[in-house]
Structure 1
Amino acid sequence: MRPKILCISFSDIKADARVLRQLDVLAEYGDVTTLGYGEKPDAAAEHLRLDAALPSLPQTVAGVALLAVRFYKRLELAAPAVRAAADLAAGRTFDLVVANEARALPLAHHLAAGAPVWGDMHEWAPEERVHVLSWRLLIKPFMTYVCAKYLPRTQAVTVVNDSIAHLYAQEFGCDTATVRNSRAFEDLHPSPLSEETIRLVHSGAAVPGRNLEGMIHAVNMLGPGYSLDFYLVPARDGGKYLRFLESLASGPNKVTFHPPVSPADLPRVLNAYDVGIFSLPPQTRNHALMLPNKFFDFVQARLAIVFSPSPETSRLIERFDLGAVTEDFSPESLAEALRRLDRPQIAASKANAHGAAMELSSKVDEDTEREILRRLLPQN
């Protein structure tokens, strides 16, 4: 009989590239029940769907009051989505529970009932949104409490890169394994450059704080011969931020907004472009230490890459000669980095991405996940 695995993620799992890749590996080892927002992912045998209106943090009046006085033990299962999730999974037993991000750890241990728990922390949990005052004052101490209490009793802990791993070891004394946001190797080749236009592209979420407006300002500073295309997942704000971005896109260069593309199709869509761009001022340590999905999307799409400085992305861009790193986080610096990349350099960077695509694919990371599963699951 195949092991029973519960995978918890307080996200729309079908749009969450990291969790989808995780599910593909989990499904090799057992029958997976997913617990989260949105529709059932393809790799899941069963899906317990949460109402998207339910927040995964204790954002009720009572919850905020308890956060303020730091009654954290009473808050562990108090968030509306967490309570609903506990009810949906009540009475079930699992051989392994996977918690995606720290907010899912208390629920994972509650539902595991002694079975092993794998905590995929993704990034540095205490400072996920520390640039927001309410998070800094109320949620950061709660996330720190959750990590300090539950990580030592979690049988496997994974994070997105070695810099984040160092933070967890330093702060909570826990061993971690690195599972990057890499993706499977795509059998693609670099597209030829257009004679008229250098085609810039960015994919991701239309969320305030991602500095998408800075990328629009940068491309508007460039002379003729550049275009910028966005493939954006709208935020849960009714499209307000996306409309703001569209209002900025009236400069001399063409800026086009496209509907979001499924994670599986993204490299093939991006392959038509030349340079993948991202510039993110480090408002949090997660920003400063970023190694995001989009970096690996751009590599598999065989694009040149221009990113703002970060230890993880800068190291890989320089190691594989994939493009350029900006001097700082300003639109002016992004524009200057793009100006310095001439057509032969862009073509060479695209070719270098092609050469690095296998090494920067998810094979190594999937093998790390398989080793965790072989260790934690009962052996037949």
Structure 2
Amino acid sequence: MPRARILSISLSPLTRDARVLRQLRVLARHGDVTTVGYGPAPDGTAGHLRVDDGAPSLPRSVGGVLGLALRRHRRVELAARGLRQARDLVGDARFDLVVANDARALPLAFAVAHGAPTWADMHEWAAEEFSHVLVWRTLIGPLMDDICRRYLPGCGAVTTVCEPLALRYTDTYGVACEVVRNAGPYRDLAPTPLDDAGVRLVHSGAAIRGRNLEMLIRSTLALPRFTLDLYLVPAADGGRYLRELHELAQGSERVRFHDPVPPDELPATLNAYDVGAFCMPPINVNAEFALPNKFFDFVQARLAQAVGPSPEMARLVRDLDLGVVADDFTQEAFTAALDHLDADRIRRSKKAADTHARALSDETDAAVMAGIVERLLAGPSTTRA
């Protein structure tokens, strides 16, 4: 019996997109996977349709922006150069299952599915991804909302990163939504011993303005017994924010910048540190309910954690004794939380991370994804609640 043909669309640099890479591993167990996205082909795929790195996935032409302003969403939903190129690359190929990562990929997925079932992995809340930015709030957000309203009810499955956002998709768009967390594979690591010289903080991820990384630097500089190592991917701003962070650190030997590490190598790299740090204010609904890759990477690395009071992270940190939660998102509160991390607290939290590493791995999430793929390949269904 021939293997199923699966198309996975993600307008992201695929080899750096940890969530998509985990998804692809599940898909590859069920069929031959062709990917559409930026950058080189991920491992284990049967084919890769590479979109030019400079081809945007959102409308930027004068006509496209005008269409957004006039709410002519059907006219512009496939107008971005990256989406047009992706559609041409797919051509007349036929697939048994199409996976759309994020709302912007949904119109393309339906355009090339030819009736095949579509799984929408929304990642986070699409309509407010960058709602703290005026252009997004006024032009892009309404497009994402319209796409969700028109396409999600026709999908065979819809997933997102946490229960509060899943409920929001159901309440807003009338679709059943399953949870696939950002958890990574279980890693057979052990907590590393503390260094008497001080506490080794670490943070990994994208250098995106709004993530409050400057506060991590200021808090570290305020506490002489702490160091901070940063593994940062430059954002789409050409690295401007990352350069600002370098300037803020003022060449301090206690704040060190490193090149980003591939997702599969990250837990082993982070294992050398003591505390994973992340404190992003709730600038939009996705930030409010953040439960990001880095949280699970810190667990697999067997680190203690210092986080802000974001409800999803704070709940797990408190319930599982994984570290400390700041009272609010200010530098003063985060610095005070760090200062409560004595050696005994850090050792206890690193041991707790080791205890809960398997439960906070992707084993449960991989089972959810496998169930979706098996169900959709077996026959058509919709997600209408």
Asked if Structure 1 and Structure 2 have the same fold, meaning a TM-score greater than 0.5 normalized by the shorter chain, the answer is yes
2: CA distance between counterparts of 1:316 and 1:130? 26
Q: Secondary structure at the match of 2:188?
A: coil
Q: Secondary structure at the match of 2:67?
A: helix
> Aligned letter for 1:214?
M
Structure 1 residue 238 displacement after superposition:
3.0
2: CA distance between counterparts of 1:348 and 1:250? 33
Q: Secondary structure at the match of 2:122?
A: strand
Structure 1 residue 252 displacement after superposition:
6.3
Verify: 1:68 aligned to 2:69, yes or no. Answer: yes
Structure 1 residue 239 displacement after superposition:
2.4
Superposition pairs of residues 1-380 of structure 1, within 5 angstroms: 1-222=2-223, 224-250=224-250, 254-378=254-378
Structure 1 residue 76 displacement after superposition:
1.9
Contact 1:3 1:378 in 2 (8 A): no
Q: Secondary structure at the match of 1:35?
A: strand
Q: CA 1:184–1:97 in structure 2 vs 1: closer, same or farther (change >3 Å)?
A: same
Q: Secondary structure at the match of 2:65?
A: helix
Structure 1 residue 234 displacement after superposition:
1.3
> Aligned letter for 2:231?
Y
Q: Secondary structure at the match of 1:264?
A: helix
Deviations 1:49-85 (A, max 9, x none): 0001111011211100001111111112111111111
Structure 1 residue 170 displacement after superposition:
1.2
Deviations 1:131-175 (A, max 9, x none): 000110111111110000000001100000001101101111110
Q: Secondary structure at the match of 2:327?
A: coil
Name segments (4+ residues, structure 1) moved above 6 Å.
none
> Aligned letter for 1:199?
R
> Aligned letter for 2:26?
V
Q: Secondary structure at the match of 2:175?
A: coil
1: CA distance between counterparts of 2:213 and 2:225? 20
2: CA distance between counterparts of 1:206 and 1:310? 19
> Aligned letter for 1:316?
L
Deviations 1:24-43 (A, max 9, x none): 00000000000000000002
Contact 1:219 1:253 in 2 (8 A): no
Deviations 1:297-341 (A, max 9, x none): 000000001111111111111111000111111111111001011
2: CA distance between counterparts of 1:375 and 1:279? 38
Contact 1:206 1:242 in 2 (8 A): yes
1: CA distance between counterparts of 2:228 and 2:251? 11
Other-structure match for 2:383: none
Structure 1 residue 253 displacement after superposition:
6.3
2: CA distance between counterparts of 1:338 and 1:253? 19
1: CA distance between counterparts of 2:77 and 2:115? 17
The answer to which of 326-335 and 343-352 deviates more is: 326-335
In structure 1, runs of 5+ residues without a counterpart are none
Structure 1 residue 294 displacement after superposition:
0.2
Structure 1 residue 378 displacement after superposition:
4.0
Q: How much identity, in percent, do the aligned residues show? A: 53
Question: Normalized against structure 1, the TM-score is what?
Answer: 0.98
Q: Secondary structure at the match of 1:242?
A: helix
> Aligned letter for 1:189?
A
Contact 1:220 1:251 in 2 (8 A): no
Structure 1 residue 18 displacement after superposition:
0.2
1: CA distance between counterparts of 2:31 and 2:307? 39
2: CA distance between counterparts of 1:164 and 1:103? 18
Contact 1:95 1:378 in 2 (8 A): no
2: CA distance between counterparts of 1:90 and 1:13? 21
- How many residue pairs get aligned? The number is 378
Q: Secondary structure at the match of 2:306?
A: strand
2: CA distance between counterparts of 1:57 and 1:30? 30
Contact 1:55 1:79 in 2 (8 A): yes
Q: Secondary structure at the match of 2:158?
A: strand
2: CA distance between counterparts of 1:237 and 1:290? 22
Deviations 1:236-276 (A, max 9, x none): 33322211101111286600000000100000000000000
Q: Secondary structure at the match of 2:29?
A: helix
Q: Secondary structure at the match of 2:347?
A: helix
The answer to which of 18-27 and 240-249 deviates more is: 240-249
1: CA distance between counterparts of 2:26 and 2:331? 39
Q: Secondary structure at the match of 1:4?
A: strand
Question: Normalized against structure 2, the TM-score is what?
Answer: 0.97
Contact 1:226 1:253 in 2 (8 A): no
Other-structure match for 2:382: none
Q: Secondary structure at the match of 1:54?
A: coil
1: CA distance between counterparts of 2:220 and 2:240? 22
